[in-house]
């Protein structure tokens, strides 16, 4: 998890999914990188779920620290309740990190080589995390195809789509 630790970003769903994964295997560590008004609640929740020894809170990261954290990760999870777009999964995918995103995020509309779950479905999120860390073929496919996909996303393509729609609308009105 990398982002503001606020209600909008769904940090409690990440903690709950982590607790479920840790019931299946203890060969995994979870990191919540960022800061926000729910940080103390998340620290308490990880203690209540008895996963504090496998759960790390880094505080706010910036610049190279963000890149290094992503690069050191096996999976990136964005369980956002509300996310107009969400750049962070793209950043994770650029460095070859398989990503799990909420269906409610704007980037879910354009990304295909990610696993999408409802933000509230902690069982599906936990299953996705477990699958990526357990099955090398899933990890490899999401890593390679995700990196390829995100490298094909260019602002000029998005801009051209807008121009094409504009021309179509103008042509239909004449």
Given a cut of 70, whether residue 84 has pLDDT beyond it is yes
Mean pLDDT of all residues belonging to the chain = 94
CA atoms within 13 A on the CB side of 164: 6
Tell whether the model's pLDDT for residue 20 goes beyond 90. yes
User: Of all residues in the chain, what percent carry a pLDDT higher than 90?
Assistant: 84
Average pLDDT over residues 21-46: 97
| pLDDT score of 174 more than 70 | no
Fold of 7-173: Rossmann fold (3.40.50)
Give the per-residue pLDDT at 53: 97
The confidence score (pLDDT) of residue 168 equals 87
Concatenate the DSSP letters of all residues of 85-146 into one string: S-SHHHHHHHTT--EEEETTBGGGGT--SSEEE-TT-HHHHHHHHHHHHH-HHHHHHHHHHH
**Interval 125-160: pLDDT, tens:** 999 999 999 999 999 999 999 999 999 887 777 788
Residue spans of the domains in the chain: they are: 7-173
Asked whether 100 and 75 are in contact (CB, 8 A), the reply is: yes
Q: Give me the mean pLDDT over the 109-134 stretch.
A: 97
CA distance 112 to 110: 7
pLDDT value of residue 7? 96
Per-residue pLDDT averaged across 94-121, rounded?
A: 96
pLDDT of residue 166: 86
């Amino acid at each position: 998890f990398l982002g503001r630790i606020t209600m909008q970003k769904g940090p409690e769903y990440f903690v709950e999914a982590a607790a479920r994964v840790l019931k299946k295997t203890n060969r995994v560590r979870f990191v919540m990188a960022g800061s926000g008004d729910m940080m103390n609640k998340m620290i308490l929740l990880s203690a209540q779920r008895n996963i504090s020894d496998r759960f790390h809170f880094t505080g706010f990261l910036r610049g190279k620290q963000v890149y290094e954290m992503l690069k050191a990760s096996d999976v990136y999870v964005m369980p956002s309740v509300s996310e107009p777009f969400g750049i962070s999964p793209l950043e994770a995918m650029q460095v070859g990190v398989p990503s799990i995103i909420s269906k409610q995020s704007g980037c879910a509309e354009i990304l295909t080589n990610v696993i999408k779950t409802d933000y509230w479905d902690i069982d599906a999120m936990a299953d996705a995390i477990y699958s990526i860390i357990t099955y090398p073929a899933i990890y490899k496919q999401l890593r390679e195809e995700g990196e390829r996909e995100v490298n094909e996303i260019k602002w000029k393509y998005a801009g051209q789509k807008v121009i094409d729609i504009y021309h179509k609308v103008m042509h239909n009105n004449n």
